[in-house]
Amino acid sequence: MSKALFPTEKLLMGPGPCNVSARVRGAMAMPLLGHMDKEFISIMDDCKVMLREVYDTKNEVTFPVSGTGSAGMDFLMVNFVEPGTRVLVAVNGVFGGRIANVSEKIGGTVKRVDFEWGTPATLEAMTAAAAEFEPHIICVVNGETSTGVYQDFGGFGDLARKYDALLLADCVTSLAGMPVHLDAWGVDLAYSGTQKCLACPPGLSPVTVSARALERYAKRKAPVPSFYLDLNEIIKYVGSGSAARAYHHTAPISMVYALHQALAEVLEEGLEARWKRHKDAATHLIASLKKFGFEPLVAEKSRLNPLITLRLPEGFDEAGIRAKLLSDYKIEVGSGLGPLAGKIWRIGLMGNNANRNTIAALLGALDEVIG
Ligand SMILES: *Cc1c(COP(=O)(O)O)cnc(C)c1O
User: Mean pLDDT over residues 63-72, rounded?
Assistant: 98
18, 66, 94, 95: which to mutate for ligand 1, most atoms within 8 A of CB? Answer: 95
- List all residues whose CB is within 6 A of at least one atom of ligand 1: 16, 68-70, 95, 141, 143, 145, 170, 172-173, 193, 202
Residue nearest to atom 14 of ligand 1 (CA): 172
pLDDT one-digit tens code per residue, 177-200: 999 999 999 999 999 999 999 999
Residue 342 DSSP class: T
151, 173, 337: which to mutate for ligand 1, most atoms within 8 A of CB? Answer: 173
Q: What is the pLDDT of residue 360?
A: 98
User: Mean pLDDT over residues 29-45, rounded?
Assistant: 96
pLDDT bucket at 5, cuts 50 / 70 / 90: confident
Q: How far is the CA of 337 from the centre of ligand 1 (A)?
A: 13
Q: What is the pLDDT of residue 94?
A: 98
Residue 137 pLDDT more than 70?
A: yes
Q: What is the pLDDT of residue 93?
A: 98
pTM of the model: 0.97
Q: How far is the CA of 139 from the centre of ligand 1 (A)?
A: 15
Residue 241 pLDDT more than 80?
A: no
Rounded distance, CA 29 to CA 367, Å?
Answer: 38
| Sheet containing strand 331-335, strands side by side | 11-13, 331-335, 344-348, 307-311, 295-296
Residue nearest to atom 15 of ligand 1 (CA): 145
Q: Which of 36-50, 240-254, 292-306 has the lowest mean pLDDT?
A: 240-254
Sequential DSSP letters for 256-282: HHHHHHHHHHHHHH-HHHHHHHHHHHH
Residue type (1 letter), 175: L
pLDDT one-digit tens code per residue, 329-371: 999 999 999 999 999 999 999 999 999 999 999 999 999 999 7
Q: How far is the CA of 327 from the centre of ligand 1 (A)?
A: 25
Residue 3 pLDDT more than 90?
A: no
pLDDT bucket at 2, cuts 50 / 70 / 90: confident
Q: What is the rounded average pLDDT for all residues in the chain?
A: 97
75, 92, 145, 307: which to mutate for ligand 1, most atoms within 8 A of CB? Answer: 145
